[in-house]
Amino acid sequence: MTMPELAVRGIPLALIERLNFERSIPLERYHEDSAIDRFGYLENLAANHGVEFETLTTLVDVLGPEEDFDGLVTTLEDISTLAF
């Protein structure tokens, strides 16, 4: 019998742990944006910009954690202007 994959709102727990582990910006900065951790911040960003979380994690992997509050936000804004 295989164990079910643990997930939060359909997002695998292993991915959530990886995203939080890779954080390079102090946790307090995420708290300033009303998030309890990096995952919460990224989840809010995806929802606020109308992108799938999978798309956001791809961008995060390309840009790196140091761009969470700059390059990632700019990229999401650019994507939203391209949406039809």
pLDDT digits (tens, 9 = 90+) for 20-46: 999 999 999 999 999 999 999 999 999
Q: What gap in Å lies between CA 46 and CA 53, rounded to an integer?
A: 6
In a domain, 26, yes or no: no
In a domain, 72, yes or no: yes
Say whether pLDDT at 83 is over 80. no
In a domain, 24, yes or no: no
In a domain, 47, yes or no: yes
Residue reference for tokens 């910006």: 25
| Total domains in the fold of the chain | 1
pTM of the model: 0.89
**Residue 62 backbone dihedrals phi, psi, to 5 degrees:** -75, -45
Q: What gap in Å lies between CA 59 and CA 67, rounded to an integer?
A: 10
Q: What percent of the chain has pLDDT over 70?
A: 95
Q: Which domain holds residue 71?
A: 39-84
Question: What's CA 34's distance to the chain center, in Å?
Answer: 14
Say whether pLDDT at 3 is over 70. no
Residue 24: predicted pLDDT: 95
In a domain, 52, yes or no: yes
In a domain, 69, yes or no: yes
In a domain, 43, yes or no: yes
CA distances in angstroms from 32 to 9, 28, 42, 45, 54, listed in the order given? 23, 6, 13, 14, 24
